[in-house]
């Protein structure tokens, strides 16, 4: 069990100061339903203060005037502090988030720290300025191409991977020389506030990073509306993403949107069944299925369907639900009671629409919010559970008679965030992967998000890309500087318009 027993009361972080508010919100441990911390209920005034602080810091040049190497050095000091506090961060995150300790160490916190290091390295290697091609017509000229910080950017992160997804926004924003205001979800704000503490100790100037806790529509809505915010990066549902985009369009903010998913996992007839069966459960059930890039639609060849499902049911029975702080636990709780009920309602609706519950695990008794792994068969792609994002450990199994039919089923969705293909023939798998309408396609793998490769969605799964060597493109403006080198006054371009001088 966790060794953190105290209730932690956190302030917000604005302009280098720790700020409270008249009202506070409880942070609940989803495994026990107990209060483990409180944070301020910030509002519009706090958001405006944070944006003003970020704008002032940007105009002073406190951060953007530093060289990329200097920015990278501060970011690496943050990495060092986070590594020193790794155990406490993992334990805190397990309690606020419900993720198992093994997953928290490997993905939620471990990835977050390594990805921040990636962005520090990227600050050093990114081409902020380069020479353009020498021009000879209509005049001799040189060109200079610069990438410059946008200014004030905002990040809005969800509850499922709060620290990791925050760093996907904070990392490139800082590396590019921007100032940022970030809003965590009220359900999981604690590790991000610990990040702000580490950034302060590392010497990040006041106003460069601001963390405002508060209600989503109020704080997040104000960030989307605010005229001084020039870019907004949002991870969350497609419905909220549409609203963010609409509100950001009022002053033509740049947007990066990583939204929902309904990942198709396509099994080819020659797949290694032992590996693919485990992978299908891993794709769907990692972090209780509460990831937008989960593999929630399993598309099986009709000839393999019965054997594959039988094997999968046997393996699903081995999944251990329980205390997420126990290293022997495979799955923890759902984030809250509302989400638990939402998942159960989808399962009930699936049965009403004709799906069969081939497997439903046993959830722990007692407090907390638990949903056991559930496998649905006899699912068709027009059913609600095959169209909508459930955000829970519910796997929908669909049949396809041909590879072409499997691809058609996979692409028949408004989403396009993630997909997977399983085959012993890599060429055949690549042929399928190239036809899938998805921002990420894993071949014989799932959930492996590497900081060196871009991540984002097709269709209504989002706009733009996070991660990869071009991540800073999303956080910089491109400027072209033209330098006239001509010494021949008879070839002056403005003679086309201006009369000869007297």
Q: Is 303 assigned a catalytic role?
A: no
- Helix residue spans in 13-141 (DSSP H): 44-60, 68-84, 86-97, 101-103, 110-125
∠ Cα 75 81 84 (to 5°)? 145
Instruction: Give the list of residues 6+ apart from residue 139 with CB closer than 8 angstroms, or none.
Output: 484, 485, 486, 488, 491, 492, 493
CB atoms within 10 A of CB 489: 7
Instruction: Give the list of residues 6+ apart from residue 20 with CB closer than 8 angstroms, or none.
Output: 11, 12, 40
Under 8 Å between Cβ of 181 and 54: yes
- Which among 250, 277, 279, 53 has a CA at the least distance from the CA of 152? 53
Cα 45 from Cα 107, distance rounded (Å) = 35
Strand order in the sheet with 129-131: 129-131, 141-149, 476-484
CB atoms within 10 A of CB 66: 16
Q: Is 353 assigned a catalytic role?
A: no
Catalytic residue among 96, 292, 389, 396: 292
Catalytic residue among 200, 258, 389, 437: 258
Cα 364 from Cα 372, distance rounded (Å) = 9
Cα 88 from Cα 322, distance rounded (Å) = 21
- Which among 444, 471, 472 has a CA at the least distance from the CA of 456? 471
Instruction: Report the DSSP pairing between strands 462-463 and 356-360.
Output: unpaired
Cα 225 from Cα 166, distance rounded (Å) = 20
Cα 17 from Cα 1, distance rounded (Å) = 34
Cα 279 from Cα 442, distance rounded (Å) = 11
Instruction: Give the list of residues 6+ apart from residue 316 with CB closer than 8 angstroms, or none.
Output: 281, 359, 361, 373, 375
User: Which residues pair with residue 27 across a beta bridge?
Assistant: 37
Give the catalytic positions in this structure.
Answer: 258, 292
């Amino acid at each position: 069990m966790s060794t953190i027993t105290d209730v932690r009361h956190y302030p917000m972080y604005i302009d280098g100061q720790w700020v409270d508010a008249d009202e506070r919100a409880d942070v609940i441990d989803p495994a026990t339903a107990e209060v483990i911390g409180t944070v301020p209920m910030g509002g519009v005034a706090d958001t405006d203060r944070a944006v003003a602080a970020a704008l002032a810091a940007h105009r002073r040049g406190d951060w953007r005037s530093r060289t990329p190497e200097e920015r990278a050095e501060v970011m690496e000091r943050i990495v060092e502090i986070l590594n020193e506090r790794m155990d406490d961060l993992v334990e805190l995150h397990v309690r606020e988030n419900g993720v198992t300790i093994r997953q928290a160490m490997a993905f939620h916190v471990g990835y977050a720290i390594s990805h921040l290091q990636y962005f520090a390295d990227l600050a050093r290697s990114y081409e902020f300025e380069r020479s353009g091609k020498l021009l000879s017509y209509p005049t001799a000229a040189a060109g200079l191409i610069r990438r410059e910080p946008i200014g004030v950017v905002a990040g809005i992160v969800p509850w499922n991977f709060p620290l990791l997804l925050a760093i996907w926004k904070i990392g490139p924003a800082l590396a590019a020389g921007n100032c940022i205001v970030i809003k965590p979800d009220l359900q999981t704000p604690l590790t991000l506030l610990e990040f702000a503490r580490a950034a302060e100790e590392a010497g990040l100037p006041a106003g460069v990073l601001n963390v405002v806790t508060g209600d989503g529509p109020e704080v997040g809505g104000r960030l989307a509306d605010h005229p001084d915010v020039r870019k907004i990066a949002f991870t969350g549902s497609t419905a909220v993403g549409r609203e963010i985009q609409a509100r950001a369009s009022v002053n033509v903010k740049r947007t990066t949107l990583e939204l929902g998913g309904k990942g198709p996992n396509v099994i080819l007839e020659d797949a290694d069944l032992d590996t693919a069966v485990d992978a299908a459960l891993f794709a769907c059930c990692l972090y209780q299925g509460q990831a937008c890039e989960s593999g929630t639609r399993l598309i099986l060849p009709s000839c393999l369907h019965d054997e594959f499902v039988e094997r999968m049911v046997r393996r699903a029975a081995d999944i251990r639900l329980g205390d997420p702080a126990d290293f022997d636990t495979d799955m923890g709780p759902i984030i809250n009671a509302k989400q638990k009920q939402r998942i159960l309602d989808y399962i009930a609706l699936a049965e009403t629409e004709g799906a069969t519950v081939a497997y439903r695990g046993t959830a722990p008794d007692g407090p907390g919010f638990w949903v056991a792994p559930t496998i649905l068969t006899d699912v068709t792609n027009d059913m609600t559970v095959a169209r909508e994002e459930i955000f829970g450990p519910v796997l929908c199994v669909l049949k396809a008679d041909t590879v072409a039919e499997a691809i058609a089923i996979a692409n028949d969705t408004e989403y396009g965030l993630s997909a997977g293909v399983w085959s012993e023939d890599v060429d055949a798998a690549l042929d399928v992967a190239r036809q899938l309408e998805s921002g990420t396609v894993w071949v014989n793998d799932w959930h492996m998000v590497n900081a060196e490769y871009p991540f984002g969605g097709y269709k209504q799964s989002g706009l733009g890309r996070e991660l990869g060597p071009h991540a800073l493109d999303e956080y910089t403006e491109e400027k072209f500087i033209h330098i006239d080198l001509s010494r021949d006054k008879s070839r002056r371009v403005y003679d086309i318009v201006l009369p000869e001088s007297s």
